[in-house]
Amino acid sequence: MLRVRNLSFGYTEKPILRNLSFSIQKGENVSIIGASGSGKSTLLQSIYGLHHVDGRIFWDDKQLLGPNFNLVPGEEFMKYLTQDFDLMPPLTVAENIGKHLSNMYPRKKQQRVSELLELVEMQKFAKVKAKFLSGGQQQRVALARVLAKPPEVLLLDEPFSHIDHFRKNKLRRNLFSYLKKNNITVIIATHDSTDALSYADTTLAMKAGRIIAKGSPEQLYKNPKNAYVASLFGEVNELPADQFIPDVDRRKKLVIYPHEIKLSEDIGFEGVVTNSFFRGSHYLTEAQVGKEFLLFEHPEALKIGSIVSLDIPEELFTKRLR
């Protein structure tokens, strides 16, 4: 188990991580989500042992002591994939992946490299020098490289940021099932809600250096603490509650996802369509209701200026009142 206790850190006087405490089970897939600058990368670097932090970090019973105690920065049983991929440009893809593997058993080494090339779908590029690869290809090689000697804990910072959608989905499925099968603990800092929703066992939501929510992706999505947490998963409406519910505290807000609002067959909240954005499976539609602009999903494009009646399920008036 990874245990983080009262972790604080700042690059300067200004605190960046503020008294974080949490635990992660062996083999767990944890995603860290949060706005840009909230401290996700700094948290990964602190766990890896790159910063002089306050607080304590343990892997099982072993305390991780950080840069004061490690001549070579970083913990041996962990791998940290940074946002810059750290490949050796003059070496080939296969050489980069196998760089830290022993040459004592060349066949075994070759087998391992082939297995990893297959995992990231880079077999065809085995003999190509890293300097000739695109950003997305480099990122895939870097992923294979951190897995070459399987770590116990893998820290990934935006690992799919350069990879196109076509490859990303399959790569994600391959990679995360490989990690589960091998019981590798993975902590992934991400902006991508699919990483957080589909693959994580646990999601940590960060804001300004604090963890403001922790739970399963379902818990955080269905019962978000506030509009900020909900917005980390995609579009969300944050509406003044008193415009929609009678006799409610004026300071309260309603946090509602666009797919939860539907066109009503009978009486609903009347609005005027102000925008409609094609999203493939639906149109994300904006309507003005009173002074508020609401986003909702609709299967067809609605004409701008048309009058609509919108239905917000009544149960959300209590469930999503914040």
Ligand X SMILES: Nc1ncnc2c1ncn2[C@@H]1O[C@H](COP(=O)(O)OP(=O)(O)OP(=O)(O)O)[C@@H](O)[C@H]1O
| Number of other residues whose CB lies within 10 A of the CB of residue 272 | 13
Least distance to ligand X, CB of residue 157, Å: 7
Residue number with CB closer to ligand X (228 or 269): 228
Residue 41 or 185 with smaller CB distance to ligand X: 41
Shortest distance (Å) from residue 17 CB to ligand X: 8
Please state the closest distance from residue 18 (CB atom) to ligand X, in A: 11
* Selection from 147, 100, 151 nearest residue 119 by Cα: 147
Tell the smallest beta-carbon distance from residue 158 to ligand X (Å).
7
Spatial distance between the Cα atoms of 211 and 193, rounded to a whole number of angstroms = 17
Judged by beta carbon, residue 50 or residue 295, the one nearer ligand X is 50
Nearer to ligand X, 187 or 295 (CB): 187
Write the burial class of residue 53 (CB in 10 Å: 0-12 exposed, 13-18 middle, 19+ buried): buried
Contact (Cβ atoms closer than 8 angstroms) between residue 80 and residue 72: no
Shortest distance (Å) from residue 195 CB to ligand X:
13
Say if CB 17 and CB 41 are below 8 A apart: no
Of 40 and 140, nearer to ligand X (C-beta) is: 40
Interface residues with ligand X (CB under 6 A) are 11, 16, 34, 36-42, 189
* Listed residue (201, 204, 226, 147) closest to 179, CA to CA: 147
Could you give the residue ranges of the DSSP H alpha helices within 157-231? Answer: 165-181, 193-194, 217-222, 227-231
